[in-house]
């Protein structure tokens, strides 16, 4: 005979008393200290001690709870929790669930942003007070702080902002004035436009677009450290894996480099007493310095080669080369002249002349033209009757800077040719 619970309602026979409730096809009777229940599966009666929404959690060591939509209070001494590995969960703030696509637990921070446990690192709470919205996938920099929050803006990476202020990539669209913005330093940013980049593309800061990313490696002084790699190439559901690398300028994070008060053309030189590399204006070297093809720019011209090419039509009389004291500072020079008379009548074909030249632009009180002694040039091989001569010349009572280099040939040329002068300062 089946187990039967008989109910009696003396006030209204045939009507189930008010304390009686049907719960999922089972009988529950309100009781002073709880509820009694009748479980059809094993024909037992027990006590219900917890109620949640439309269902009940039964007292005792239960291995399964179904239809439980809410728990109020704390859960203690729990050993583990098994999540549904095949659930399809919608994100909302405060929700924890198993992400079977990425094989990880996800924490929903909002309906548009979630982080994967042990796979996503985010910056502490941030405030966008830049006045401009920040799009998901934008590179973000710190601009300061307000209260307990870091203030942020789209990253400017053209070299005008120091590298250490770069934070990470926005994991969500961030409106102007939004607090609790989520900035990812390590992890996946989903649902952005990556259509222009193939999977596996390494992305760098875009110096031309604040907050932008580019596949082109920037050039200094723009920041050029890698920021992310493309996981999915798609216009709407693109993904990148952020692996924020903290960029550094020379001497900012290097423990053996000390740079201060940097000036134009400073160089690094090792200081063995301090054990650091330092920036210096004047470089001191021990031993020999070898070089090839140095070009004169500015500063000390000793051990530098200055090349000047002039187009001239040589005659058998002295004429200005066009080289004057604005081209060469005072000193003693080794001079080389390359001549290749391409015009008719010329006698120098691929000829080199060399000699020593005194080049001093001191004032003269002479009232006469005052050429110096001719510069003796040695002709390096060749044949024919061609010979060329150089001298320095300055105008009487002229400014000291009015010092010129003149030339003539014992054979005139009928047309112009290029003549290459090279000077190396000795003293």
DSSP string, 238-276: EEEEEE------TTTS-TTEE--S--TT-EEEEETTTTE
Phi then psi for residue 396, to 5 deg, are -55, 140
In this prediction, residue 288 has a pLDDT band, given cuts at 50, 70 and 90, of: low
Which whole-number Å values give the CA distances from 170 to 122, 133, 140, 286, in the listed order? 10, 11, 7, 52
What residue has token string 């007292």? 59
Polymer length of the chain: 427
Quote the pLDDT of residue 194. 96
Question: What confidence tens digit (pLDDT) does each residue in 5-17 have?
Answer: 444 444 444 444 4
Least confident of 47-51, 209-213, 315-319: 47-51
Is-above-0.75 flag for pTM? no
What is the rounded distance in angstroms from the CA atom of residue 32 to the CA atom of residue 30?
7
Mean pLDDT of the chain: 78
Question: What confidence tens digit (pLDDT) does each residue in 106-123 have?
Answer: 787 776 777 777 667 778
Quote the pLDDT of residue 195. 96
Quote the pLDDT of residue 308. 94
Phi then psi for residue 165, to 5 deg, are -90, -5
Query: What average pLDDT does the segment 21-32 reach?
Result: 48
Quote the pLDDT of residue 140. 96
Higher per-residue confidence, 124 vs 227? 227
Query: What average pLDDT does the segment 163-184 reach?
Result: 90
Quote the pLDDT of residue 364. 47
pLDDT surpassing 70 at residue 36: no
In this prediction, residue 384 has a pLDDT band, given cuts at 50, 70 and 90, of: low
Nearest Cα residue to 251 out of 277, 227, 285:
277
Quote the pLDDT of residue 377. 83
In this prediction, residue 341 has a pLDDT band, given cuts at 50, 70 and 90, of: confident
Sheet holding 305-312, edge to edge: 305-312, 417-425, 331-339, 351-359, 377-379
Quote the pLDDT of residue 7. 46
Phi then psi for residue 384, to 5 deg, are 100, -175
Ordered alpha helix ranges (H), 24-176? none
CB within 8 A of 45, min separation 6: which ones? 5, 36, 37, 38, 39
What is the rounded distance in angstroms from the CA atom of residue 3 to the CA atom of residue 8?
17
Cβ–Cβ contacts within 10 Å for residue 344, how many? 8
Quote the pLDDT of residue 371. 55
Quote the pLDDT of residue 244. 86
Query: What average pLDDT does the segment 260-267 reach?
Result: 87
What is the rounded distance in angstroms from the CA atom of residue 138 to the CA atom of residue 172?
9
Quote the pLDDT of residue 154. 96
Query: What average pLDDT does the segment 46-53 reach?
Result: 48
C-alpha 89 chain-centroid distance: 37
Question: What confidence tens digit (pLDDT) does each residue in 71-81 have?
Answer: 777 878 888 78
pLDDT surpassing 90 at residue 235: yes
Quote the pLDDT of residue 1. 43
What is the rounded distance in angstroms from the CA atom of residue 280 to the CA atom of residue 265?
9
């Amino acid at each position: 005979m089946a187990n039967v619970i008989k109910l009696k309602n003396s006030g209204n026979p045939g009507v189930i008393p008010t304390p009686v409730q049907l719960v999922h096809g089972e009988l529950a009777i309100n009781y002073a200290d709880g509820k009694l229940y009748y479980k059809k599966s094993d024909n037992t009666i027990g006590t219900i001690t917890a109620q949640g929404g439309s269902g009940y959690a039964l007292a005792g060591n239960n291995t399964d709870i179904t239809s439980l939509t809410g728990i109020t209070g704390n859960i203690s001494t729990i050993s583990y929790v098994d999540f549904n590995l095949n659930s399809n969960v919608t994100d909302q703030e405060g929700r924890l669930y198993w992400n079977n696509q990425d094989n990880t637990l996800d924490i929903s921070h909002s309906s548009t942003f979630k982080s994967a446990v042990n796979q996503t690192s985010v910056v502490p709470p941030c405030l966008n007070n830049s006045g401009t919205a920040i799009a998901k996938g934008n590179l973000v920099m710190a601009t300061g702080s307000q209260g307990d929050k870091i203030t942020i803006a789209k990253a400017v990476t053209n070299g005008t902002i120091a590298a250490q202020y770069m934070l990470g990539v926005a994991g969500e669209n961030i409106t102007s004035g939004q607090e609790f913005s989520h900035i990812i330093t390590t992890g996946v940013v989903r649902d952005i436009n990556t259509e222009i980049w193939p999977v596996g593309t390494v992305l760098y800061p875009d110096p031309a677009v604040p907050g932008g990313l580019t596949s082109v490696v920037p050039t200094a002084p723009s920041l050029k450290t890698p920021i992310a790699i493309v996981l999915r190439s798609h216009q709407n559901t693109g993904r990148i894996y952020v692996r924020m690398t903290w960029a550094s300028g020379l001497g900012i994070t290097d423990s053996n480099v000390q740079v201060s008060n940097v000036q134009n053309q400073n160089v690094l030189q090792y200081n063995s007493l301090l054990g650091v590399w330092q920036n210096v204006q004047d470089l001191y070297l021990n031993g020999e310095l070898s070089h090839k093809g140095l070009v004169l720019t500015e500063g000390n011209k000793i051990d530098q080669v200055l090349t000047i090419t002039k187009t001239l039509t040589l005659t058998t009389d002295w004429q200005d080369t066009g080289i004057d004291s604005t081209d060469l500072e005072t000193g003693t020079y080794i001079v080389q002249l390359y001549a290749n008379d391409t015009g008719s009548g010329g006698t120098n074909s691929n000829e080199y002349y060399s000699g020593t030249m005194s080049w001093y632009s001191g004032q003269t009180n002479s009232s006469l033209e005052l050429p110096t002694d001719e510069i003796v040039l040695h002709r390096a091989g060749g044949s024919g009757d061609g010979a060329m001569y150089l001298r320095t010349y300055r105008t009487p009572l002229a400014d000291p800077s009015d010092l010129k280099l003149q030339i003539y040939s014992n054979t005139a040329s009928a047309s112009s040719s290029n003549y290459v002068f090279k000077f190396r300062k000795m003293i």
